[in-house]
Structures are given as C-alpha cells and as structure tokens.
C-alpha cells in the first residue's frame, strides 16, 4: 500500500467524463463545440496523453505546462496559452515552440503577443456579469465588454487573427444561468465587432462546470441545455463554442487516501480531528471553506458528532473546516484511514513543495504510478 497521504486517479473515469461532455454538448448544440482541458486542474502525464488521444485541446497557463504537453507528444496546434498574465519572454518562447493561440485582457498583453507571436489567433477575456461561483476569481481577470470590442479591433489592426471573446463564470459555478449571461454579453461583443467588419470565429465560454461534493450539483445536461439555448439566441450560427473544463473532467476521478494523526478535545469543548493531509499538501480548496469535501472512514456506521478538521502542519491557518458542519465517527482514532472522494482536481497541483517539511501530495494512476 502506498504511503499516506496519496491521490489515486482513475483514468477511465476521465475518459468517460470527456466523452460524456463532448456528447451532451454536441447533442444539445447545433454548432461546432471544442473541448479544451484546463491542464492546471490535474497536470498528470497519463491524463494529458489520454485526452490528447481523445482529440482534446489544452488550455495551458505557463511555459511549464507547455513544455510538459509538448514532451508528451501533444501538438502545439492544440494548445492555447490562456493565462492573460505572461511575460514577453514567455510569449516569445511559446511562439518559438509553435503555440499560435493566446488569451489576453489588457492592451499591454495584446501588444506583447503581437510583437512576440505575430499572426497568432487571440481571444479577449472580458469580465462577465455572472453570479459568484463557489471559488470566484473576483476581478483579477477580464476587461469590460466594451473594452473587449476595442481590443479585438486593435488585435485585427496589429495583424493578429481574431478568434473572439472569452469569459469565465468562476470555478465550481452551480448556477446554469451564469452561462446565459456570459453568452449574451459575448453576443453583444460579436455584434459590435461585426459592425467593424470583424467576424468572430469562436466564443470561449471558459470552465467552471461543477461536480458534486458534500452538496449536489445540477446534472451536466442542465448546463448544456442552457448553453445551447443561449448560443442559439445570441450568437451567429457559424460561431463555434470553446469550453475549458478542468474540474468537470478530473474531479470525480480522484480519491485522496489519508490517515488520522490524532484526535483532541480543545478547551472550548470542540473535538478536533487532525489528518496527515491539509491545506498545504493537497486541500488548498478548503480555503474559506469554499469546497466542502466528503470524508469516508472504516468506522462509518458508528455514532457521529461534529468535528473541526485540520491538517498536520504547525500553522494556525492549516484548518480545513471549523465553520462547515462536519460529522465524523466519535470512535475515530490515530492511525485510522480516511478517504476523501472527488479530489481529482486542484489537489496535487496545489500542493506546496515542502512546507514544514511535508512533501507534496503523491499521485498514483490506476494501472501506473507517478510522483
């Protein structure tokens, strides 16, 4: 048995998720739809190779992810450098490696792309009016819709190929109507560009498709129906859709296997359960208790009571849940195993290098192993 904690990923589930998403979007929509995997969700070699074989595209956020994909035989034509925050030197290097698609949200970044990746295809990320998701981006990314029109026109004048507008409704977005709002705004941008003689090739509707954790997310078909209806109403028939899932492809394909380090009753009477995995070695998405994971134990069926759940480091912020109501068996003891399902996304990729000397989360893939 591998040393605890570790993440076990089922590649068959990732393949099934990709095919299900591609199928439901194709069935619901009467327009071309491309699936672009957000590598940052789980940059595991075996998953990248698997998705490349399924003809997926890839959203890459750094030179590191670009090098990883290319080293695995992924065609640079299938990569989009989707991070709007990038150095001129990184754009130049990406261009030299064959990457010809870029996202931007400022004029400065647009000019850098035009200079260091001339003739490339570009998407302009705008800040949509979508409701907040479980893990929102805030205003870190995205320009105003009117600014997107100006910048895409500028892109044309700089000799770049205009793909179209791009929005993201936030990670783990539970409201399907968020995509209707974003697509309507993208449609308004598309109309304004048409008035300038610029035809939009595709609208990138980003990621954000949710999965069920402790709470249940709507079914994928509900989101696909809203997306297809909004695209029909607000976008020209020839405009393709690009969707950039991460969590929706890999989230439910992973299970973290961990161990109880200790149990303590604090002076205020609250029970604390300490695990060998915490905020810094895999559970970063528990920040602000945004994502409520489920816990499974070999003592399930015993009496339960509320518990504060914390990680193993000497850091006061390494607490997973103290406001969220977590019920765990009262019989839990040090050494007991604990499993955390649906942890395939944003766990290992968020692990620190060696905070407090704890190693990053080890990843094992069914039928293979990798660190």
Is 124 annotated in the active site? no
Q: Are 303 and 368 in contact (CB under 8 A)?
A: no
Using H for helix, E for strand and C for coil, what is the string for 249-318? HHHHHEEEEEEEEEEEECCCCCEEEEECCCCCCCCHHHHHHCCCCCCEECCECECEEECEEECCCCCCCC
Q: Could you say which of 69, 80, 124, 314 is catalytic?
A: 314
Q: Where are the alpha helices (DSSP H) in the chain?
A: 11-28, 45-53, 63-71, 88-96, 107-116, 145-157, 177-195, 220-234, 247-250
- In terms of C-beta density within 10 A (0-12 exposed, 13-18 middle, 19 or more buried), how is residue 218 classed? middle
- In terms of C-beta density within 10 A (0-12 exposed, 13-18 middle, 19 or more buried), how is residue 136 classed? middle
Rounding to the nearest 10 degrees, give the CA dihedral for residues 152, 154, 155, 158. Answer: 170
* 239 closest CA partner among 250, 227, 248, 225: 227
CB atoms within 10 A of CB 269: 6
* CB-based burial, 231-265: b 16+ in 10 Å, e otherwise: beebbeeebbbbbbbbbbbbbbbbbbbbbbbebee
* 15 closest CA partner among 343, 360, 316, 366: 366
Task: Please give the positions annotated as active site.
Answer: 314
């Amino acid at each position: 048995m591998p040393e605890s904690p570790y993440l076990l990923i089922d590649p068959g589930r990732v393949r099934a998720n990709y095919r299900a998403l591609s199928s439901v979007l194709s069935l619901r929509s009467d327009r071309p739809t491309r699936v672009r995997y957000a590598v940052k969700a789980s940059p595991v070699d075996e998953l990248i190779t698997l998705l490349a074989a399924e003809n997926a595209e890839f959203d890459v956020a750094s030179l590191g992810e670009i090098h990883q994909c290319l080293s695995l035989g992924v065609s640079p034509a299938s990569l989009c450098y989707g991070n709007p925050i990038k150095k001129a030197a990184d754009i130049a290097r990406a261009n030299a490696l064959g990457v010809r698609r870029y996202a931007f949200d400022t004029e400065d970044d647009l000019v850098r792309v035009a200079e260091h990746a001339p003739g490339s295809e570009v998407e302009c990320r705008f800040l949509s009016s979508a409701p907040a998701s479980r893990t929102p981006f805030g205003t870190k990314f995205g320009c105003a819709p009117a600014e997107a029109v100006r910048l895409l026109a500028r892109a044309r004048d700089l000799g770049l190929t205009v793909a179209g507008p791009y929005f993201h409704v936030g990670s783990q977005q539970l409201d399907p109507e968020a995509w209707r709002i974003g697509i309507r705004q993208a449609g308004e941008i598309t109309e304004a560009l048409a008035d300038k003689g610029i035809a939009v090739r595709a609208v990138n509707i980003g990621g954000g498709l949710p999965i069920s954790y402790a709470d249940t997310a709507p079914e994928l078909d509900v989101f696909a129906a809203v997306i297809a209806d909004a695209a029909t109403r607000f976008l020209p028939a020839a405009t393709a859709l690009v969707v950039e899932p991460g969590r929706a492809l890999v989230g439910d394909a992973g299970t973290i296997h961990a161990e109880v380090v200790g149990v303590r009753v604090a002076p205020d009477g609250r029970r604390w359960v300490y695990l060998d995995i915490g905020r810094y070695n895999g559970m970063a998405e528990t920040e602000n208790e945004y994502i409520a994971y489920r816990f499974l134990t070999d003592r399930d069926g015993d009496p339960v009571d509320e518990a504060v759940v914390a990680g193993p480091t000497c850091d006061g912020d390494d607490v997973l849940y103290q406001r969220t109501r977590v019920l765990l068996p009262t019989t839990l003891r040090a050494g007991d195993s604990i499993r955390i399902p649906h942890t395939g996304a944003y766990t290992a990729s968020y692990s620190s290098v060696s905070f407090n000397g704890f190693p990053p989360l080890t990843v094992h893939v069914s039928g293979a192993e990798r660190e």
